[in-house]
């Protein structure tokens, strides 16, 4: 009789932690004001920057977020956090600075890219590319 009780308690505890972790990731991003106010150093529509951003996207982002930013990359199904649709109006409403922060600092399943995307121009190029994903 003890084994079913222990098993039930263990399952409830595991369910609690999984639910807590999932709900934490569903919360809106907390972006420091300093980043919210940042302006891109890349002119809107800069073809060279967008091309660089597309290369960075293919290397670092596509596997989870998909080729068009729809959240349908091959690794997306393995993540506990649902991938955002970058073409959505809600996503495109983020300021350039918010996108900059989220794309290189990360949280949860979203890795930190501070040591991989080192150059400031490359980070802004990635933001410029994300801006091309509008519906």
pLDDT tens-digit readout, 26-53: 688 899 999 999 999 999 899 999 999 9
Q: What is the pLDDT of residues 59-101, one digit of tens each?
A: 999 999 999 999 999 999 999 888 899 999 999 999 999 999 9
pLDDT for 1 beyond 80: no
The total of structural domains in the chain comes to 1
pLDDT recorded at residue 6? 58
pLDDT recorded at residue 82? 87
> What residue numbers bound the domain in which 88 lies?
28-133
pLDDT recorded at residue 11? 42
Q: The whole model's pTM is what?
A: 0.78
pLDDT recorded at residue 28? 85
CA distances from 67 to 28, 56, 63, 76 (A): 24, 12, 8, 12
> Per the domain annotation, does 69 fall within a domain?
yes
> Per the domain annotation, does 45 fall within a domain?
yes
> Per the domain annotation, does 5 fall within a domain?
no
> Per the domain annotation, does 107 fall within a domain?
yes
Q: At what angle do helices 96-105 and 120-130 cross, to 10 degrees?
A: 110
pLDDT recorded at residue 5? 57
> Per the domain annotation, does 9 fall within a domain?
no
> Per the domain annotation, does 90 fall within a domain?
yes
> Per the domain annotation, does 19 fall within a domain?
no
> Per the domain annotation, does 120 fall within a domain?
yes
CATH of the domain at 105: 1.10.760.10
């Amino acid at each position: 009789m003890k084994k079913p009780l222990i098993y039930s308690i263990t399952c409830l505890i595991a369910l609690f932690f999984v639910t807590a972790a999932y709900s934490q990731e569903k919360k809106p991003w907390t972006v420091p004001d300093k980043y919210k106010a940042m302006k891109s150093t890349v002119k809107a529509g800069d073809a060279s920057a967008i091309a660089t951003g597309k290369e960075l996207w293919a290397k670092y982002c596509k596997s989870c977020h998909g080729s068009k930013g729809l959240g349908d990359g091959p690794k997306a199904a393995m993540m506990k956090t649902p991938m955002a649709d970058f073409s959505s109006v809600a996503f495109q409403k983020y300021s350039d600075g918010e996108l900059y922060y989220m794309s290189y600092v990360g949280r949860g399943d979203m890795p930190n890219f501070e040591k991989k995307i080192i150059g400031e121009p490359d980070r802004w190029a990635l933001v410029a590319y994300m801006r091309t994903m509008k519906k």
